[in-house]
């Protein structure tokens, strides 16, 4: 028989074991309290709860089911053990479902003896459920929000004290879970509000841009001012680094840069892109917008154009411009400096702007056309009146020419008479050409002309005209042979160029230079240059357009337009190169190729 000492020793060990277990429970409860207050992340929170509940309840496993209010189902994703699966139960299904439905705990010593127990999960996992304890989780309003279930107590069965402990833990967990859900709901609402706020701010910015574009379209007097104003606001709306507006020629379809930001704008505005060339040419031709966020990989991208423009984009957004009798493209380059791609919202914004811009361009061109027609009509009436008034003095000059022939110094008088007649003929030709140009009529008579005789006489005429402004004329005849052109029309050309140079040089005097040469392919090359201040940047790109004038008192803006029309009637071309201190107009006139008249040498 065991002695009293042995029994006392055993009892002491048992009591010590009980105390140790209770201490472990107390530490676990403290850990649960600390854990529940340390996070609001629902997944992390559930994992903490299950780990500590299994330890406190001395259970083999534990599970926590939450009620899905949308489907009215219990679900559990976090299950202690090796298997992590999702279980879904309707209220009333299984032991947990029964607790959720009744709101009362269940303490069962042998689960297989209870008809409510569903052994399907045991069969799937190979696990053997014996004892189980389920208690409801209720919020502060007493509504069941889930179920806590512990399985297989390690020593014996779950007791009434275990029921009370698990109920307390479930209540504590319910508060933390509700707080987590509330927090997530508030965060979600805040995110929604922030998204809504950001969208509203974006819409306000877009409306501001559209309003500004409408104001620019209404107030801009010139098309170039309209395009520049719209381009700047479009770049701001889409956060683009560079941009351009290209308009197509009605006859050829070639695109011209009418407004540009980025690269070398002054150089860009003088460039043309062949119809259909590059991404912008494709968009203008097909009428479909394009987003290309990897430009180098797009076969339509032209590196030559980028080199000439002086700007190499990484991303491109291009939308077509369309109006009744024209088309073009609005092109945006490098969103956020190339650090971000263009997106559909950018495309929508650019498309809306392109619609407004197309309408504004159509209206601006209609206004310009009406103004041009009114000025042409006014000028035509003025010129008709002027020509009629000049008939009398011209008749008088012709009469005096006849009288001069009868004077004693006959040779001198014949020379003077010839000069007067030439001047009369020149004036008559100039007035006729001006009137014909105003009416849209073009007629030329190409004949064989001896260059040295024609240009020496022309130089004598120009010297008299330029000398009034203290301007000296230099004639350089590198080719003194013969060429084919309309003499009277080409006199008109150089009188206009000389008058244009004289007006640009002003009263301070200067030098003009007329050079006659021939190219390697036989074309006649005529260069007229001056040392004046150069062509203003404001009209450089429109220099040969009708009514283009800048800084000239009483100028009509027809002189250079007439020059271009006469040269083009000859099938030639005219170009200008201008900088401060030097401006030169280069005219190239094609010449008929000489026939091959060589014959075989005669036999000796």
The overall average pLDDT reported for the chain is 77
What are the residue ranges spanned by the domains of the chain? 22-186, 217-362, 442-589
Is pLDDT above 90 for 252?
no
DSSP letters along 308-329, please?
HHT---S-EEEEEEEETTEEEE
Query: Kind of pairing, strands 582-589 and 524-530?
Result: antiparallel
Tell me the fold of 217-362.
Answer: Beta-Lactamase (3.30.450)
When pLDDT is averaged across residues 295-305 and rounded to a whole number, the result is 83
Q: Which is higher by pLDDT, 508 or 321?
A: 321
pLDDT of 405 strictly over 80? no
| pTM (two decimals) | 0.42
159-163, 231-235, 463-467: range with highest mean pLDDT: 159-163
pLDDT in tens, 431-446: 665 666 556 565 678 8
3-class SS letters over 169-232: HHHHHHHHHHHHHHHHHHHHHHHHHHHHHHHHHHHHHHHHHHHHHHHHHHHCCCHHHHHHHHHH
- Please give the pLDDT value at position 603: 34
Whether 517 shows a pLDDT value over 90: the answer reads yes
Is the CB of residue 342 less than 8 Å from the CB of residue 295?
no
User: How many whole angstroms separate alpha carbon 184 and alpha carbon 42?
Assistant: 9
pLDDT in the model for residue 360: 80
Domain 22-186 belongs to what architecture? 2-Layer Sandwich (3.30)
CATH of domain 442-589: 3.30.565.10
In order of 40, 156, 177, the CA distances from 80 in angstroms are 20, 20, 18
Would you state the pLDDT for residue 450?
94
Query: 465-515: per-residue pLDDT in tens?
Result: 788 788 999 999 999 999 999 988 888 888 888 888 888 887 778 999 999
3-state secondary structure of 84: coil
| Region of poorest pLDDT, from 85-99, 152-166, 243-257, 357-371 | 357-371
pLDDT at 555: 45
Q: What is the pLDDT of residues 525-539, one digit of tens each?
A: 999 999 988 876 655
- Report residue 385's pLDDT band, with 50, 70 and 90 as the boundaries: very low
Mean pLDDT lowest among 72-81, 163-172, 330-339, 351-360 = 72-81
Q: Same CATH topology for 22-186 and 442-589? A: no
As a whole number, mean pLDDT of residues 199-217 equals 70
Residue 481: both structure tokens together: 């042979």
Q: At what angle do helices 410-439 and 559-569 cross, to 10 degrees?
A: 90
Structure tokens at 428: 């008559």
Residue, of 182 and 253, whose pLDDT is higher? 253
């Amino acid at each position: 028989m065991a002695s009293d000492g042995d029994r006392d020793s055993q009892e002491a060990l048992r009591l010590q074991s009980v105390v140790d277990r209770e201490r472990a429970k107390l530490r676990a409860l403290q850990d649960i309290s600390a854990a529940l207050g340390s996070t609001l992340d629902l997944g992390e929170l559930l994992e903490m709860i299950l780990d500590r509940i299994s330890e406190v309840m001395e259970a083999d496993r534990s599970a926590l089911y939450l009620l899905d209010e949308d489907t009215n189902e219990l679900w559990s994703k976090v299950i202690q053990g090796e298997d992590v699966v999702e279980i879904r139960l309707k209220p009333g299904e299984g032991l947990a479902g029964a607790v959720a439905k009744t709101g009362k705990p269940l303490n069962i010593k042998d689960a297989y003896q209870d008809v409510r127990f569903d052994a399907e999960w045991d069969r799937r996992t190979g696990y053997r459920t014996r004892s189980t304890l389920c208690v409801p989780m209720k919020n502060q309003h007493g509504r069941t929000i889930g179920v806590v279930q512990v399985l297989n107590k390690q020593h014996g069965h779950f007791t009434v004290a275990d029921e009370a402990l698990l109920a307390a833990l479930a209540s504590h967990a319910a508060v933390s879970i509700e707080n987590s859900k509330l927090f997530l709901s508030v965060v979600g609402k805040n995110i929604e509000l922030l998204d809504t706020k950001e969208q509203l701010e974006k819409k306000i910015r877009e409306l501001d841009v559209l309003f500004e574009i409408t104001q620019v379209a209404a107030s801009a007097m010139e098309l170039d001012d309209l395009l520049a104003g719209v381009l700047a606001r479009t770049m701001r709306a889409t956060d683009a680094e560079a941009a351009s507006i290209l308009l197509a020629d009605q006859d050829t379809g070639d695109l011209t840069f009418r407004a540009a930001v980025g690269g070398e704008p002054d150089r860009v505005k003088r460039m043309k892109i062949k119809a259909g060339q590059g991404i912008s040419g494709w968009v203008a031709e097909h009428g479909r917008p394009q987003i290309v966020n990897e430009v180098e990989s797009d076969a339509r991208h032209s590196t030559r154009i980028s080199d000439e423009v002086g700007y190499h984009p990484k991303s491109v957004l291009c939308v077509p411009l369309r109006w009744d009798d024209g088309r073009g493209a609005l092109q945006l380059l490098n969103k956020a400096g190339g650090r971000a791609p263009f997106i559909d919202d950018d495309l929508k914004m650019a498309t809306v702007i392109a619609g407004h811009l197309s309408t504004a361009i159509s209206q601006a061109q209609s206004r310009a056309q009406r103004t041009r027609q009114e000025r042409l009509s006014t000028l035509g009436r003025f010129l008709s009146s002027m020509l009629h008034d000049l008939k009398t003095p011209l008749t008088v000059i012709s009469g005096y020419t006849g009288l001069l022939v009868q004077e004693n110094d006959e040779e001198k008088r014949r020379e003077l008479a010839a000069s007067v007649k030439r001047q009369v003929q020149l004036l008559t030709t100039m007035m006729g050409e001006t009137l014909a140009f105003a009416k849209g009529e073009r007629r030329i008579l190409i004949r064989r002309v001896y260059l040295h005789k024609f240009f020496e006489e022309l130089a004598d005429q120009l010297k008299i005209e330029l000398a009034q402004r203290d301007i000296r004329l230099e004639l350089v005849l590198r080719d003194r042979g013969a060429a084919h052109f309309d003499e009277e029309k080409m006199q008109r050309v150089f009188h206009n160029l000389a008058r244009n140079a004289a007006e640009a040089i002003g009263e301070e005097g200067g030098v003009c230079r007329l050079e006659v040469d021939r190219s390697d392919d036989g074309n006649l090359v005529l260069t007229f240059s001056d040392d004046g201040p150069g062509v203003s940047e404001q009209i450089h790109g429109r220099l040969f357009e009708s009514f283009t004038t800048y800084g000239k008192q009483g100028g009509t803006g027809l002189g250079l337009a007439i020059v271009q029309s006469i040269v083009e009637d000859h099938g030639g071309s005219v170009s200008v190169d201008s900088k401060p201190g030097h401006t030169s107009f280069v005219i190239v006139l094609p010449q008929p190729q000489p026939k091959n008249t060589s014959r075989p040498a005669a036999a000796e």
